[in-house]
Amino acid sequence: MFNKSFLEDEVRLGFYIPATIKQAWAAQLEVLKVVDDICRECNIRYFADWGTFLGAIRHHGYIPWDDDMDIVMIRDDYDRFLEEAPKYFPDGYSIHTFRNEEEFREFHAVVVNTPSARFDKEHFDRFHGFNYLCGIDIFVLDYIYSNEGDEDKRDQEALYLISLADSILEDDLPEETIDSNLKRVKEITGVSLSSSLSKKELWIALYELADKKCAEVSSEQSDVLTQMVPWGLKKILHYRFSKYDYFNFIRVPFENTTIPVPFSYDTILSKHYGNYMRINKAGGAHDYPFFEKQKTDLEEILGKKISEYSFDEIFLSKKQENNESFKHLLIEALSQLSSISLISEDDICSAQELAIDIGTMIENVKGDDHPSLQYINTFCENLYHLYNRSLNDVSLVKSSFDDMSSFINNELIKKKVAVFLPCKADFWDSFDDLYLSLSDNPDYEVYVVPLPYYYKEYDGTLSDEQYDINSYPEDIPLCPYEDFPLEFIHPDIVFIQNPYDEFNAVTSIHPDFYSSKIKQYTDNLVYIPWFKTCEISEDDFRSYKNMQYYVTVPGVINSDLVLVETEQERKMYIKKLEEWSSSKYNWDSKIKLFNNESIKNLGFSFSHKTNPTTKKSIIYYIGAGQALENADTFIKKIETNLTLFKENEDKLNLTLVIDHLLDDSIKKYKPETLSSYRNLVSTFAQNNNIRFLYDNEPLDLLLSCDAYYGDASFLACEYSCKHKPVMIQSYASK
């Protein structure tokens, strides 16, 4: 089961992942569950591969800028899976190979969840709102000849068969040349192919023969595995691996599940990528996102864009003045009251009624304990006494009116109103500095109005209200959104952090608080993103592309001011908006740096909060894979490091974080070290100066230290992205 929060937009390692990509991930994870269940049932081994393999180890899930899923099987398991899996597939599932898929010209298989895009409710619910075809690539590992001469011959023959097949399919060969080549095919493979076959049939038959060539070496003949197409045939040596690296596996966390990886994952990944913990956002071997072409093809058929926000100059128009706002009505009422002569009894009654109306209005907005009500009560009492002739001095009435008018003018009319509309308690940090500055400013009255958000159903209706008003810091006074008359108060400034309005694939805030509505109720609508990304350039294609999900959206267009963190980010916002809108509008005037100069233009100043500390904190991480691969030195290494930390506990606060799969992994694969490991952990866990955590604790807790030391892990990447010191421990003997 998926928690719906998984589908929400998210920033990982400074990379913005939109809800549409999260839906694609969720759909792929459903396919993975089917594949995993079949493999368990049929005793078929498989392993995470390529980006999925790297993501499982480095991120405990997808690489943030990746959107597909890859697994790999050794040839015998691969062939059995192709044969057995269709017997277990749910409705709609199938396997694509070169044998059965028209445009598929690869030597691996893809398990897909549907033949084509579907927009029915059953598919929506089953695959978390992802309407398009998605699947898992299954690559195959074959053995290579131990004799390089034999391997060269096999590679050349396989390459020849593939080249011939492609030339025939692309109509590059005359008939007589095809005939002579088919004779050579028989010499190589012992298989006769008739030239009377269609070109497509010949292509499939030749690919089948090439595939058999790749698979012709048995496990008894070789200790080395590779993915033959293309790496084996091209003799890329760093894609050759010992078969013993794939003998055993451990399951590691991957998003909401686990996935098998080779026992010797560090050896394999190091051979693949070198320093595989180093972040590299270079794109993969496919378009991003993978479903973009499906979406484009569908839009061509429909003749329109699918649920996409489009620009209109009218969105930039100024708001109309609100003549029915709280302040406007107060000004008007006081003006009327000041013009009443108080000569006749009717004048006194009119003044009394108007003063009561003012008091009722203030009470409805500010509550029945607002100090202005005391001034109003005094004024009304004097009017009453004047009416009953018990007070003959009109100057006392006028004096009490002046006091009341002055107080209301200073405290309710002249004082500016700022309203913060956070959409999640977790996002409050983006507002906190501004809130603290405004709260200390005597010229401002500040409201914090947490907004609820909802998940979208198949028909676009909103359900499952998420309202975390009780999760905000206790020292912040909060106003429930149902009780806050935003339109009537008409604040001077409204700060928002949700820019999507109705144009998010998964969630929506309450429609009454869409930016398209709020801009009518305030003089200044200011958007501050709830997230921070890494610096983005045009060359960072995937990051730049995903800006469409948070830049070309209503909240940015409807706001009077958008505050971003860096000059580079500001430039990218402006460039994205110019490309999208084709407008001559001066976006530079709207997109500004989040600094004191921009804030001063709003009428106040602010400063960032700081949390000084004298004692540094460090996280020490112990992972499962390294413990198993270095079992002979593991215990001694950990004991030495923990002792060193203990000796320096007056200088450092230590947080010991352990892979939550470590205990079970040692128990299964290295049981002889289990007792020593448990005793070691137990000894140091009792030290009150060491904070003890597992790596499946909340991420903000795990990232609270000043520096990272330990095994390569997803946490090391997170610390590196936050520009905190990272050191990976080595098990090599000195």
pTM of the model: 0.89
How confident is the model over 75-88, as a mean pLDDT? 98
What is the total residue count of the chain? 734
Report pLDDT for 683: 81
> 198 and 233 in contact (C-beta within 8 Å)?
no
pLDDT surpasses 70 at 101: yes
The conformation of residue 91, written as its DSSP 8-state character, comes to: T
CB-CB neighbours of 592 under 10 Å:
18
Mean pLDDT of 652-659: 90
For residues 688-715, give the mean pLDDT: 89
Residue 282: what pLDDT? 64
What pLDDT sits at residue 664?
87
**Rounded Cα gap, residues 425 and 446, in angstroms:** 17
Q: 610 falls in which pLDDT band (50, 70, 90)? A: low
Confidence of residue 607 (pLDDT cuts 50, 70, 90): low
CA angle centred on 463, ends 457 and 468, rounded to 5°: 135
Q: Is the pLDDT of residue 163 over 90?
A: yes
Give the integer Cα–Cα distance in Å for 71 and 109.
10
Q: Which residue from 516, 537, 521, 325 is spatially nearest to 419, judged by alpha carbons? A: 521
Q: What is the pLDDT of residue 694?
A: 92
Work out the average pLDDT over 652-663: 89
Q: For residue 430, is pLDDT > 70? A: yes
Residues 6+ apart with CB under 8 A from 188: 157, 160, 161
Q: How confident is the model at residue 314 (pLDDT cuts 50, 70, 90)?
A: confident
pLDDT one-digit tens code per residue, 499-543: 999 999 999 999 999 999 999 999 999 999 999 998 898 888 999
Q: Which backbone phi and psi does 416 adopt, to 5 degrees?
A: -80, 155
What pLDDT is stored for residue 37 in this prediction? 98
| 489 burial level (CB within 10 Å; 0-12, 13-18, 19+) | buried
Q: What pLDDT does residue 138 have?
A: 98
Q: Is pLDDT at 319 greater than 80 in this prediction?
A: no
Report the distance separating Cα 279 and Cα 15, nearest Å.
Answer: 12
Higher pLDDT, 76 or 301: 76
By CB atoms closer than 10 A (0-12, 13-18, 19+), residue 602 is buried
Decide if pLDDT at 646 tops 90. Answer: no
Q: What is the pLDDT of residue 140?
A: 98
Tens digits of residue pLDDT in 32-76: 999 999 999 999 999 999 999 999 999 999 999 999 999 999 999
Maximal C-alpha separation, the chain: 126
Task: Give pLDDT tens digits for 186-218.
Answer: 999 999 999 889 999 999 999 999 999 999 999
The first and second tokens of residue 389, run together, are 């002739």
> What residues are paired with 509 via a beta bridge?
453
pLDDT of residue 631: 75
**Phi/psi at 15 (5° precision):** -110, 130
- The answer to whether 68 and 286 have CB atoms below 8 angstroms apart is yes
Per-residue pLDDT, averaged over 334-342, amounts to: 91
Q: Which residues, including other chains, have CB under 8 Å from residue 450's CB and lie 6 or more apart? A: 421, 422, 423, 425, 467, 468, 469, 472, 478, 480, 481
Question: Which tokens sit at 232?
Answer: 């084996």
d(CA 343, CA 336): 15
Same fold: 416-600 with 616-728 = yes
HSE, side-chain direction, 13 A CA sphere, residue 718: 21
The mean of the pLDDT values for the chain is 91
> Tell me, what's the pLDDT at 303?
81
pLDDT for residue 420? 98
Q: What is the CA radius of gyration of the chain?
A: 34
pLDDT at position 307: 72
Grade residue 1 by pLDDT with cuts at 50, 70 and 90.
low
Q: Give me the mean pLDDT over the 631-660 stretch.
A: 86
DSSP letters, 690-722, are EEEEETTS-HHHHT-SSEEEESS-HHHHHHHHT
Would you list the domain boundaries of the chain?
4-143+226-302, 148-211, 326-413, 416-600, 616-728
Q: How many CB atoms lie within 10 A of CB 402?
A: 13
Residue identified by tokens 């990447």 is 717
pLDDT of residue 136 exceeding 70, the answer is: yes
Percent of the chain with pLDDT over 90: 67
SS3 269: helix
Distance of CA 115 to the CA centre of its chain: 28
Higher pLDDT, 712 or 85: 85
Given this model, what pLDDT does residue 320 score? Answer: 63
Residue with token string 């049939």: 201
pLDDT digits (tens, 9 = 90+) for 209-266: 999 999 999 999 999 999 999 999 999 988 999 999 998 898 999 999 999 999 889 8
DSSP 603-647: T----------SSEEEEEEE-HHHHHHTHHHHHHHHHHHHHHHHH
Range 669-692 average pLDDT: 83
Tens digit of each residue's pLDDT (9 = 90 or more) over 110-123: 999 999 999 999 99
User: Averaging pLDDT over each range in 576-590, 630-644, 712-726, which range is the top one?
Assistant: 576-590
Q: Which CATH number fits domain 616-728: 1.10.3470, 3.40.50, 3.30.2450, 2.60.40?
A: 3.40.50
Residue 666 binned pLDDT confidence (cut-offs 50, 70, 90):
confident
pLDDT at res. 313: 87
Residue type, 247: F
- Percent of all residues in the chain with a pLDDT value above 70, rounded to a whole number: 97
Architecture of domain 416-600: 3-Layer(aba) Sandwich (3.40)
What pLDDT score does 343 carry? 83
